[in-house]
Amino acid sequence: MTTFTGKGVYGAVAIGKISVFKKRDAEVKRVRIDDIEREKQRLEHAKAASMEQLSEIYEKALKEVGETNAAIFEIHQMMLDDDDYNESIITMIESQKVNAEYAVAKTADNFAEMFSSMDDAYMKARAADIRDISNRIISNLSGERSEETAVNEKVIICASDLAPSETVSLDKEKVLAFVTAHGSSNSHTAILARNMNIPAVIGTGDDFLAAIKDGDAAIVDGFTGEVFIDPDEETRARLLKKQADDEKQKRLLQELKGKENITLDGTKVHIFANIGSVDHIGEVLLNDAGGIGLFRSEFLYLESSDYPTEEQQFEAYKKVLETMAGKKVIIRTLDIGADKKVDYFNLKREENPALGYRAIRICLTRPEIFKTQLRALYRASFYGNLGIMFPMITSVSELEKILAICAEVRAELKAESVEYSEDTELGIMIETPAAALISDQLAQMVDFFSVGTNDLTQYTLACDRQNPDIEPFIDTHHEAILTLIRMSAENAHKHGAWIGICGELAADTSLTETFLRMGIDELSVAPTFVLKVREAVRNTDLSKS
Amino acid sequence: MVSKKVKVVNEQGMHMRPAGELAKVVKAHPDCEVTLNANGKTVKAKAPMQIMSACIKCGNEVEIVCSGTDEQAVLDEIAAMFENGFGE
């Protein structure tokens, strides 16, 4: 197996055979001609044929990639009709008595050169367009039309580079993917590939074409920009799964985007997304999540070499809230410790870190760190719909301390006349059996609960989730866990709080109905699971028992 | 001969499409010669590639010079195209 990497321009996976796209021989011979009029006539015929082809390509592009992207071929027609361009060709034929092919090729060189030397990326890129139309005239002059390669099965088209007209001329039904050794991801070809929904990888490098031949088995991963030639079984299996997952996701997106999260009998539930970095907000929106149910703030600490300042945190939180434009954003305060270590915290090595000095325990013993984060959060609350969530709660007294610190921070901000939102909701993670068992008391103190099923499972079943040997003993559907969740839901509702689930179990669609029957108000899952869960919700009927 | 200075307002400057639109209008008036002065260059406006060769960008000032039949009307028409950002 050989692997090449370029830039993926459309995320999808293609598996199939390679077809190497052969360019027509671009070399044009200079021939002395005697009949200038005849040569000019040949040119006129070739130009008329080119014009006709371009308008056909334009019509095809219009249907396949839309008006904006098809416009390039209208522009090609304008170029073909350009006075300067045509004058240059005619003058060359007349004054140098050369064949039309040569005059066109030479003129193309001159114009391409002019564009290439311009100090503007857009203008530079026009050099390729000039060559594209000129090659078309030349092939019409010589009576060859090599670009419509006969392709009988769906193939992965590999080329040194593809001109926009070549890209669109290929029969979409027979192209699995494009791979080009050269070219940029901003080229028209890349843009066209993206709009044709065909996986494409651009710029795999100089060695690429030498390493492939027609009929080679290959896999193109448009997500990562990888191209596997003669893939091994493991790679094939992995990419087959990726392809199936992607296709399912895209189908769901088509069908379920914009639809409500509502059961057949009319029960509604929120489906939010879990993310751990500002960079992933795009995925939240793309997958149509109703909000962010768990924003892990650790990334701010993990990516930093020292304690992040209030200002740094404020900017990050503000950005998330503004981007989510009024949708709910629940940010969980610092959850360092256990499996997440940060050097500058100088945490001691522990025998049993999952049961150790972590999360809220650090915050309550080092309140200066906690207060910096809370100040940043409250200041950011002004810019959106914020909920603040505290992890690893086990007792009422912890929560009392936390709420007192929150009140202190609000009082400080008020004294400083700094704006914050009074509607900021406060909630806790239910991830210890203790919290679930005293949820009756805790629910009276907060606006919401969010069940962290990963830790809740580990602590309830006494199973270390880092230890692969005990995996057979981890039953995530264990009745004890479900009972704790049910108990928390009942207590939350009794005291007017809402309850969500943000652990991995929230995405387990075999439990969706169970959770909905418990009255769970929100399910927060990885962005790519949002629509899968929506589908499950929409297929659930709670009126049947 | 009449002339007018205008500012390029469309974001991408005089790229292929506006250059093509402009050339189309100029060619419709074969008895009126239209030139553009911009960036220290003078280009004929009847050929889109020549217009593009002046590399006129958004915010640049362009002097339109018309000479011939209906020169004022042609100038007004072209100036309006610039001001509308070529409909972009």
Contact list in A for residue B27 (CB cut-off 8 A) is 83
Q: Give pLDDT, residue A149.
A: 47
Classify domain A24-141 by CATH architecture: Orthogonal Bundle (1.10)
Q: Count the Cβ atoms, other than its own, within 10 Å of residue A527.
A: 21
Can you tell me the distance from the alpha carbon of A310 to that of A290, in angstroms, rounded to the nearest whole number?
A: 28
Residue A503 has pLDDT above 80, yes or no: yes
Contact A78 B48 (CB under 8 A): yes
- Burial of A83-98, coded b for 16+ CB within 10 Å and e otherwise, reads bbbbebbbebbeeeeb
Domain A1-21+148-236 CATH superfamily: Phosphohistidine domain (3.50.30.10)
Asked if residue A402 lies in contact with residue A360, where contact means CB atoms within 8 angstroms, the answer is yes
Residue A146 has pLDDT above 60, yes or no: no
The shortest CB-CB distance from A123 to any of B17, B48, B55 is to B55
* End-to-end CA separation in angstroms for chain A: 54
Q: Give pLDDT, residue A535.
A: 93
Can you tell me the distance from the alpha carbon of A196 to that of A64, in angstroms, rounded to the nearest whole number?
A: 6
Closest by CA position to A11, among listed A233, A225, A321 = A225
Query: In sequence order, what DSSP letters do the residues of A97-131 get, joined into one string?
Result: -B-HHHHHHHHHHHHHHHHHTSS-HHHHHHHHHHH
Name the residues of A annotated as catalytic. Answer: 188, 502
- The interface predicted TM-score of the complex, written ipTM, equals 0.83
Q: Quickly state the pLDDT bin for A126 (edges 50, 70, 90).
A: confident
Can you tell me the distance from the alpha carbon of A500 to that of A451, in angstroms, rounded to the nearest whole number?
A: 6
Spell out where chain B has E strands.
2-7, 32-38, 41-44, 61-68
pLDDT by residue (tens digit) across A250-307?
Answer: 888 778 888 999 999 999 999 999 998 888 888 898 889 999 999 999 888 887 889 9
B2-87: which CATH number, 3.40.50.20, 1.20.1740.10, 3.30.1340.10, 1.10.3720.10? 3.30.1340.10
Dihedral sign, CA of A143, A146, A150, A154?
negative
Two structure tokens written together for A179: 């791979």
Q: Give pLDDT, residue B53.
A: 84
Q: Give pLDDT, residue A391.
A: 96
**In angstroms, what CA-CA distances link A105 with A108, A115, A199, A228, A398?**
5, 15, 33, 37, 80
Can you tell me the distance from the alpha carbon of A377 to that of A541, in angstroms, rounded to the nearest whole number?
A: 39
The shortest CB-CB distance from A120 to any of B27, B50, B55 is to B55
Spell out where A343-447 has E strands.
385-390, 425-430
pLDDT by residue (tens digit) across B20-76?
Answer: 889 889 988 989 999 999 888 889 898 888 888 888 888 889 999 999 999 999 999
Can you tell me the distance from the alpha carbon of A413 to that of A385, in angstroms, rounded to the nearest whole number?
A: 18
* Most confident range, picked from A215-224, A299-308, A341-350: A215-224
Query: In sequence order, what DSSP letters do the residues of A309-332 get, joined into one string?
Result: PHHHHHHHHHHHHHHTTTSEEEEE
Can you tell me the distance from the alpha carbon of B25 to that of B55, in angstroms, rounded to the nearest whole number?
A: 20
Contact A126 B17 (CB under 8 A): no
Q: Chain A: residue nearest B51 by CA?
A: A84
Would you kindly state where each structural domain of chain A is located, as residue ranges? 1-21+148-236, 24-141, 265-538
Can you tell me the distance from the alpha carbon of A288 to that of A249, in angstroms, rounded to the nearest whole number?
A: 12
Residue A148 has pLDDT above 70, yes or no: no
Rounded (10°) angle between helices A396-415 and A367-381: 60
Q: Count the Cβ atoms, other than its own, within 10 Å of residue A232.
A: 10
Chain B residues within 8 angstroms (CB to CB) of chain A: 12-13, 15-17, 20, 23, 27, 46-50, 52-53, 55, 57
Q: What is the CATH number of domain A265-538?
A: 3.20.20.60
From A339's Cα to the closest Cα of chain B, the distance in A is: 50
Q: Give pLDDT, residue A458.
A: 92
